Structure 1
Amino acid sequence: MSAKKRILWVDYAKCFGIIAVVSGHAINDVAGKGLDVAYNAIYWWHMPLFFMLGGFFLKKISHDYQGWTYLLGHRLRPLLIAYLLNGSILIILSHYFRDQSWDYTLFYFGRLLYGGSTLNNYLSVFWYLTAYILAVFLTTLLLSYVKPVWLQFSVAIGLFALGVTLQDITFMGKSDFPWDAQISLLAVFWMLLGYYVFRWFAKIKWNYKLIYAAAGTLFFAVLIYMYAVGKLDFVLWLKSSNIHSGWQAFVIPPILCLVVFIACEAIERAGGFLPLEFIGQNTDIIMFYHRAAFDLTTIVSFTDNWYFRIIIGLAAPILLAWIIQFFKNNKLRSAVKNSN
């Protein structure tokens, strides 16, 4: 999609999603009741949000060679290349920055191929990309080969239930599934839901959206309060496949994600905000490199805390994204100038 055709509220949603990802990782393992509540509240919605966003622009494929070429070559191949390339870069960075042995580093390349919850440190978030790849593949096939919408959702709900069930089942004696494949089964439902939400979202009257957003925000506040006082046991840690309640995982994330979408549309209606737009357009770089950026906070003891991790985890990848865009724009201008 070209810059002129970008839908701003979608970029804003991606922006808030990636801020939640960085914040969740920054406060992980930090003691404190308030941070524990915030951590789990973030995890109730931020990764389902990205899976729903992934469904927005899915396309049905034709049942021939051209259709499969589009799916495997155009949609999935770039994602796989991004996974392997950025994963390899981060493994090498981790080797030198963390002074790791070559035995550990070479073994980590093997873990990169297996993926899933075996990935840690700089690559801890890379489970998402492999689950995303599998979900795009499965959801595209579901949309393309199953015509009735009710049947599509029936299959997706069945896959969701299977994915929840598999959290208690080992894979060939191991607790870790390759590529976190069982999570992609849950993601199919969120992605399919995103596909249809995007198509009817603009048709809903704004007043109705505001009413829903108010009710959804109140619902979120009630959930947070109930969790804080010990009356709600809802955990949605997808990477480790730790889901305390399947029906809560089925109901709660879509409700909260829709509130985020409406809030982002409100920002667009208010005139937008360029920094949020830029962040939303560069979530991949932030997703890949924020964990490595966290190590910058350990250089000085003063910055070695969770709130500086949030700042650096966002600022360093954003700066990297700006530099990459700057050189791309200069290269494009040079190419246009030379052609003239």
Structure 2
Amino acid sequence: MTKQRLTWVDVTKGFLMILVVIGHFPGDLDYPLLQYIYWFHMPAFFVLSGLFFKPLSKDEPIRKAVKKRFMQLMVPYFFFLLVITCIRYILAFAYGNTDISWYMEDLSTLIIGGRYARGSYGVFWFTTVLFFTYLLFLLLTKYLNRFYQFLVLAICYIIAHIQSYYVIDIIGGSSAEAAQTIPILWNLDVTLITLVYFAIGYYAKDLFLHIRLPLWTVCTVSSLLVMRLAWIDQFDYHLSLKFIRYNHALLDLIIPFIFIITIFGIFQFITRFTPLKSLNFIEMQSITIMYMHISVDKQMNNFFDYDLVGYTVLCLGVSIIGSLVIKKFIPYGLFFIGDIRAKRPLLFKGKLFTT
């Protein structure tokens, strides 16, 4: 894979991370900006992950691949879960919260995670879903031939939409509240649909890595058209992976696809002429940005009033500083934010964690 392709991928991830931050703006966004973002930004992360998936041969042990992905994804998950929770509880206690039942109830929601983990933990669902999506696809490609892979993916997609129909149309009400009536650990039920997005990235790798102008043009025009229709209230489509809101089987493939092709194509073209180093730099700090930005806002909005631009700059800036501090000053900081090649604590040097 050429340097240019790697550049556009990193730049795209940096751009998508900015959208993640914008998507958690606590104020009111101009309608339907938030709707546009959620149409594609989370599916795009799964498609990108699928692009670089490497299947195992039949005689290759699965254990090593699982350990590696666990270290890259779940170690940062537990690290930031611990850090954020400790800070929250210290502040809560300092402000006079001595109700043990509150702490116990809060801990129970953090253990279940997924859609139950709100506030500062609003993004944590993504990591667990991505890890188990990878694990499932690893098993799928190792033990089943292509026909049965597609069959399983189709079944998963159908079940995902049956569940979403139940949540959105039968239970009804707020999608966030309705989704929480189905208590699934770590949002693992969402892997039913993310597995499909991941698979699309893998199976359509050549298409995504070499986006042709005719396809890009069609997808861009289509994207602009549906954006315009939504703007004038002629197109009512919503997508929220976290809260199981994917209740249109056809559009849940088409809408993310046309936007992903549009965005990927733009950055493939631009990075031919300029490396967009700022977006690449953001991607390098993306783990910390993802986990920290909501907590940054929750603390900073007690002292500052800011609009969307101020919020985005502040959350990105403080999170980036946090990332650099962790890497440079925290013992084993690089390891705790997913660098499996970095020096690791003694606990992670045993056979259980050796890759």
- Per the TM alignment, residue 296 of structure 1 is displaced from its structure 2 partner at its CA by 3.9
The residue number in structure 2 matching 1:338 is none
CA 1:308–1:281: 2 relative to 1, 3 Å: same
The residue number in structure 2 matching 1:12 is 11
CA 1:214–1:111: 2 relative to 1, 3 Å: same
Runs of 4+ in 1 over 6 A off after TM superposition: none
Q: How far apart, in 1, do the equivalents of 2:158 and 2:273 lie?
A: 40
8 Å contact from structure 1 (residues 234, 244) kept in 2: no
Determine which of 305, 308, 323 is the counterpart of 1:306.
Answer: 308
Q: How far apart, in 2, do the equivalents of 1:95 and 1:296 lie?
A: 14
Determine which of 190, 206, 228 is the counterpart of 1:183.
Answer: 190
CA 1:246–1:176: 2 relative to 1, 3 Å: farther
Q: How far apart, in 1, do the equivalents of 2:114 and 2:251 lie?
A: 23
Q: 1:44 is paired with a residue of what secondary structure?
A: helix
1:286 corresponds to 2:292 = no
The residue number in structure 2 matching 1:25 is 24
8 Å contact from structure 1 (residues 160, 189) kept in 2: yes
Q: How far apart, in 1, do the equivalents of 2:302 and 2:28 lie?
A: 22
CA 1:153–1:283: 2 relative to 1, 3 Å: farther
Q: How far apart, in 1, do the equivalents of 2:91 and 2:310 lie?
A: 19
1:135 corresponds to 2:133 = yes
Q: How far apart, in 1, do the equivalents of 2:285 and 2:161 lie?
A: 31
Relative to the length of structure 1, the TM-score reads: 0.83
1:198 corresponds to 2:205 = yes
Moved more, 263-272 or 183-192: 263-272
Letter of the structure 2 residue corresponding to residue 221 of structure 1:
L
8 Å contact from structure 2 (residues 5, 268) kept in 1: no
CA 1:306–1:103: 2 relative to 1, 3 Å: farther
The residue number in structure 1 matching 2:69 is 75
- Per the TM alignment, residue 105 of structure 1 is displaced from its structure 2 partner at its CA by 3.5
- Per the TM alignment, residue 325 of structure 1 is displaced from its structure 2 partner at its CA by 4.2
CA 1:97–1:42: 2 relative to 1, 3 Å: farther
CA 1:250–1:262: 2 relative to 1, 3 Å: same
Q: 2:32 is paired with a residue of what secondary structure?
A: helix
Letter of the structure 2 residue corresponding to residue 273 of structure 1:
L
CA 1:79–1:109: 2 relative to 1, 3 Å: farther
Moved more, 158-167 or 45-54: 158-167
Letter of the structure 1 residue corresponding to residue 293 of structure 2:
H
Deviations 1:169-206 (A, max 9, x none): 699x933322112211101111111113334544x4xx
- Per the TM alignment, residue 77 of structure 1 is displaced from its structure 2 partner at its CA by 4.4
1:153 corresponds to 2:154 = no
Deviations 1:262-304 (A, max 9, x none): 112112201212111111222211111110111243133433x
1:55 corresponds to 2:50 = yes
Q: How far apart, in 2, do the equivalents of 1:197 and 1:185 lie?
A: 19
- Per the TM alignment, residue 327 of structure 1 is displaced from its structure 2 partner at its CA by 5.2
8 Å contact from structure 2 (residues 56, 142) kept in 1: yes
8 Å contact from structure 1 (residues 61, 70) kept in 2: no
CA 1:9–1:142: 2 relative to 1, 3 Å: same
CA 1:301–1:280: 2 relative to 1, 3 Å: closer
CA 1:297–1:280: 2 relative to 1, 3 Å: same
Q: Which runs of 5+ in 2 are unaligned?
A: 172-177, 335-342, 344-355
CA RMSD of aligned residues (A): 2.9
CA 1:84–1:103: 2 relative to 1, 3 Å: farther
- Per the TM alignment, residue 63 of structure 1 is displaced from its structure 2 partner at its CA by 4.2
Count of aligned residue pairs for this structure pair: 317
Q: How far apart, in 2, do the equivalents of 1:301 and 1:73 lie?
A: 42
Q: 2:127 is paired with a residue of what secondary structure?
A: helix
Q: How far apart, in 2, do the equivalents of 1:254 and 1:313 lie?
A: 29
Q: How far apart, in 2, do the equivalents of 1:198 and 1:93 lie?
A: 42
8 Å contact from structure 1 (residues 53, 191) kept in 2: yes
8 Å contact from structure 1 (residues 22, 313) kept in 2: yes
Determine which of 16, 37, 43 is the counterpart of 1:42.
Answer: 37
8 Å contact from structure 1 (residues 55, 192) kept in 2: yes
- Per the TM alignment, residue 70 of structure 1 is displaced from its structure 2 partner at its CA by 1.6
8 Å contact from structure 2 (residues 4, 272) kept in 1: no
The residue number in structure 2 matching 1:123 is 121
Q: 2:145 is paired with a residue of what secondary structure?
A: coil
8 Å contact from structure 1 (residues 164, 243) kept in 2: yes
Q: How far apart, in 2, do the equivalents of 1:248 and 1:201 lie?
A: 19
- Per the TM alignment, residue 5 of structure 1 is displaced from its structure 2 partner at its CA by 10
8 Å contact from structure 1 (residues 213, 262) kept in 2: yes
Relative to the length of structure 2, the TM-score reads: 0.80
Q: How far apart, in 2, do the equivalents of 1:251 and 1:219 lie?
A: 10
Q: How far apart, in 1, do the equivalents of 2:120 and 2:50 lie?
A: 27
Letter of the structure 2 residue corresponding to residue 302 of structure 1:
D
8 Å contact from structure 1 (residues 153, 189) kept in 2: no
Q: 2:48 is paired with a residue of what secondary structure?
A: helix
